[in-house]
Amino acid sequence: MAIKIHGGKFLIAGGASLVGSHLVKGLLAKNASEVVVYDPVLFDANDSLGDLKKDPRVRLVSGDVMKLHQFIKHMDGIDGAINLAAYMSLGFSQNPWDAIDVNIKGHMNFLESARINKVGKVIFASSSAVYGFGIGGPITEDMPHKVSDNPPSAVAYGSSKIIGEQLCRMYKQNYNLDYLALRFSTVYGENQHHRAANALYIIDTYERLLRGEPAQLFGDGSESKDFVYVGDVARAILMGLESDATDDAMNISGGRSTPTKELVAMIAKIVGSDLEPEYIQEDGRVRLKSGAGLYYVNTKAFDVLGWKPEMSIEDGIRRLIKTLS
C-alpha cells in the first residue's frame, strides 16, 4: 500500500535520533500535516531535532515504546509509522535487559499499536547487522547471519533485527499490515550520535587529528566499511512509504567499499593534517570488525523503490565535519 505524504499524518518512534531528525525534515518538506516524534528524550538542546521542534506540524511526545497504551493513544489517526527506536551493539553490551525489551517487546508494541489503529503502512529500521560482522565482499539480501568470532553484543543486536523483521512478516500474514524492512548499512551525517561504533570512527578520527594525535588503524587498514549518508537513508524511508511495495526487506547502503585506510586519508585531507596514521592491534574496545572489500549490494532497493544513494562519502563527511567544527 502506498501512503500519500502530502497532508498525511506520521509517527516516528525514536524520532529524535540521527535518522529521525532528517526524516522529520523530509516529511515536512513533502507537506505532511503532522509528524509525531515519539521518543523518551527530554526534547532539549541535546536532541538532534534543533529548530524542527518549532514547526507547528511537529508534535513531540516523550514516549516509551514499552508502554503499549501510550503507543496506541499517540498512533490514533496515523497514516504511516516508522520504527527507528532501538539499542545498538554498544547498548546490548552495556544494558542487555533494556536492549532486548526495546528492540523486541517495544517493536511488538509498535506493530500492535499500528494494527489496532489501522495504520496504512509501517517501516522497520533494520540493519546490515542481520548478516553479522567480520565478513567481506559483496553482501546481498539472501546472505545468512554470521555468528562465529563476533562479540556477543553484536550477535544479539543483529538477532534482534532478524526477529523484528519476522514480527513484521507475522503481522502482514495475520493482519495484513503492510510493511517494509530497510536494512541500513553504517549511517553517518549531520547530527551524528555517539552510539554507533562504526560511524563513530569518523568522529573519533576527526577529533584525534584536531588534537594533533595520529589516527588509529587496526591491522593493515584494509578492513572495509559501507557508509550511507543519513539524508539518503531518510529519502529511502520516504520512498518506501510512497511505494506499493510491501512484505519485503532490502539493503539501504552506500554500495561502496571504503577501507579504513582510505577513510582516514579522506578525513586527514579534509582537516588538512599530514600526520601519518598509527597502526594498532586489538585493544579490547567494543568494535565491529569487517573484512576487505565489504559492501552491501543495494540494487534491490533500486528495482523495488527506485532508490539509490546520491551523496558521495567524501562530500558527506565534509558536511558532518562542518557541523562539528
For residue 113, CA distances in Å to 73, 218, 254, 290 come to 8, 44, 32, 37
Task: Give the mean pLDDT of 166-174.
Answer: 98
The CA distance from 260 to 221, in Å, is: 5
More confident residue, 89 or 170: 170
Using DSSP bridges, classify how beta strands 186-188 and 227-229 pair: parallel, antiparallel or unpaired: parallel
pLDDT in tens, 277-305: 998 876 665 556 777 899 999 999 999 99
Domain that holds residue 125: 9-188+229-254+296-309
The CA distance from 142 to 162, in Å, is: 13
What is the pTM assigned to this prediction? 0.94
Report if residue 84 sits inside a domain: yes
The count of structural domains within the chain is 1
DSSP string, 260-301: HHHHHHHHHHHHT--PPPEEE---SS------BT-EE--HHH
pLDDT in tens, 227-264: 999 999 999 999 999 999 999 999 999 999 999 999 99
Report if residue 263 sits inside a domain: no
pLDDT in tens, 49-79: 999 999 999 999 999 999 999 999 999 999 9
pLDDT at 244: 98
Split at pLDDT 50, 70, 90, the class of 156 is: very high
Task: Give the mean pLDDT of 133-155.
Answer: 90
Report if residue 55 sits inside a domain: yes
Task: Give the mean pLDDT of 152-165.
Answer: 96
Report if residue 323 sits inside a domain: no
Report if residue 99 sits inside a domain: yes
Q: What is the largest CA-CA distance in the chain?
A: 59
CATH code, domain with 237? 3.40.50.720
Query: Coil, strand or helix: which one is 199?
Result: helix
